Structure 1
C-alpha cells in the first residue's frame, strides 16, 4: 500500500471526507490517507497524529516526499491530545479496536467542539463506538462494510445531531450491535459477517452449557443474539 494505491478500507474512508476538509487522522501511521486526500483536493488540510516515534517519522517522511508540509501537520502525541481546541472539522480514527477508538473519543471530547463529522473504522467491536455516539450527541448518518485480505471491516460515519434518529427503540440493542444501516442494506459481506458471528455465538453457548455453574443472564443474552442473527440470515435468504 502507498499513497497512490490505498487499501480499500482507507479509500472508502476517504470518500466520506467532504471537499475542502480540514481533518485529523488519528493513528495516521505513514500518513497515506492525509497525503492521498490532500494530493487530490488542493483545498484540503490535515493533522496527522501518531503516538509512536517510528510511524511518526514515517509520516513526516511521506508528507515531505509529496511536498505537503504546508497542508499536513504531523504531530507526535496520544489520541486527540495532538489537536488544539476547535482546530478541525472532521476526525478520522481507523484501523484500531472499537474500545480503543471509543476511549480516544471519550478522552478527547473537549477537542470535538467544531468537529462536524467523525469517521471511525474499527477492526473489532463497532458496537462500543455506536454506543458512544448515541451517548454523546452524535447521530450515525452512514455505515459501510467491506472485506479485504480475509478481514471484514465496518466504517461508521457520525455527525453532531439527533443521536437516537437512526434507531428503532424496539430493537435498539440489535441495531447497536449489527448497525441500523447495515441491517437495512444487507448484502453478501454483511451476511458473511453475520454467519461468522452466528458460528462463534453457538460455539460459546455450547461451552457455557457444559460449565459446572451456568450464568442464566449470559445464556439469555447469547440466545437473543443468535435469534437476531437468524432473523438477518433468514430474511436475506427469502
Structure 2
C-alpha cells in the first residue's frame, strides 16, 4: 500500500519504534497512523481528534485504506482519548509548543507506561524541552528539517532513569568543540543536540530569528518611555548573545550558503 505523506511526517514516523502501540494526538486525517500501519511498523494505533470535522475525516480515511482493525479513531481532547498503559509511544505534531505542554500536563497520568514521546512543535520548542526536563523525560535525540520553506524541530524523549541522567541532558554549562560555552538556559533554547550538530537548516532558522528580533527592536525604537527603553535594552542583550553564538557556529559551516555570501543581513 503506497501512502503519500510529507517529509515532516516521514521523519516523525522514523522515530516510532517497530511494534509500538501508537497514540497520535491531533492526528490530522490519521495520516501518520495510516502510513505506519501500511508499513506494518506498528501493532495498532489510536488517532485522537478534538473536533468533529477532523474526527470524521480521519474515520473516513482509515476506512478507505481498510485499516479499521488496526487504527481506532477517537474523539476527545488531548490525551483523554488514551487509557493509562494503553500506548507505548505517543506522537504530538503540528501545533505550538505551549499547547503540546498543556496536553502533556493535563494528561500526565496517561503517560505511565509510555516508552517514547515524539514531539514536533511548530513554535516554542524551548517550552517543550523545559516541560520534559521538569517532568522526568530524557531527551534522547533531536532533529531539524526544512520543507516548503518551513523549518521543523522534532524532539524524541523517554522516561529518565534518574535525576543524574537528566543532568546529562542539560548541564549547568556545556563547552562545545569550538570552545563556545553555553548555559543550561541556552541549551534549552537551542536544543542540546541541534546546537552541537549546527546543521545548515539550524543556522538558517536562527538567522531568521535574529532578523525577526532585529525588526522588533527597530519598532521599539519609536517609543521613548522608560519601560520601552529598558525592554529594548534586554532585547539588545539577547540579540547580541544570539548573534555571537550564531557567528561562532556559522564559521564551522564552510559548505553553507551563509559562508559563501558572508553574514546574512540580520
TM above 0.5: yes
In 1, distance between residues paired with 2:41 and 2:66?
A: 12
Distance 1:219 1:152 in 2: 29
- For the pair 1:168 / 2:171, whether they are aligned, the reply is yes
Question: Could you say if the C-alpha distance between residues 229 and 110 of structure 1 is closer, same or farther in structure 2, counting changes exceeding 3 Å?
Answer: farther
Q: Can you give the 5+ residue segments of structure 1 that lack an aligned partner in the other structure? A: none
CA distance in 2, matches of 1:214, 1:147: 40
Cα distance in 2 for residues equivalent to 1:214 and 1:237: 38
Which residue matches 2:140? 141
Deviation of 1:85 after TM superposition, in Å, equals 1.2
Q: Tell me the residue number matched to 2:219.
A: 207
Aligned CA distance change for structure 1 residues 218 and 75 (closer, same or farther; 3 Å): farther
Deviation per CA, 1:158-200, whole angstroms, max 9, x where unpaired?
A: 1110333222312111111111110011111111001001111
- Give the gaps of 5 or more residues in structure 2: 174-182, 253-266
Deviations for 1:125-173, whole angstroms, at most 9, x for unmatched residues? 1111001001100011111111111111111111110333222312111
How much has 1:206 moved relative to structure 2? 3.1
Partner SS, residue 143 of structure 1: strand
1:195 maps to: 207
SS at match of 1:120: strand
Secondary structure of residue in 2 paired with 1:16: coil
Deviation at 1:212, TM superposition (A): 2.4
- Partner SS for 2:167: coil
Q: Do the aligned residues in 2 keep the contact of 1:79 with 1:104 (CA within 8 Å)? A: yes
Q: How many residues align?
A: 237
Please report how far the alpha carbon of residue 232 of structure 1 lies from its aligned counterpart in structure 2 after TM superposition: 2.5
What TM-score do you get using the length of structure 1 for normalisation? Answer: 0.93
**CA distance in 1 between partners of 2:81 and 2:216 (Å):** 41
1:237 aligns with 2:258: no
Q: Work out whether residues 25 and 92 of structure 2, in 8 Å CA contact, stay in contact via their aligned partners in 1.
A: yes
TM-score (norm. length: structure 2): 0.84
> Shift in Å at residue 225 of structure 1?
4.6
1:16 corresponding residue in structure 2? 15
What CA distance in whole angstroms lies between the structure 1 residues aligned with 2:55 and 2:236?
42
Q: Cα deviation per residue 1:64-111 (whole Å; 9 max; x = unaligned)?
A: 112211111100000000011111111100000111111100110010
Sort the Cα spacing of 1:218 and 1:156 in 2 relative to 1 into closer, same or farther, 3 A: farther
The structural deviation recorded for 1:209 is: 4.1
- For 1:225 and 1:18, the matched residues in 2 are separated by 39
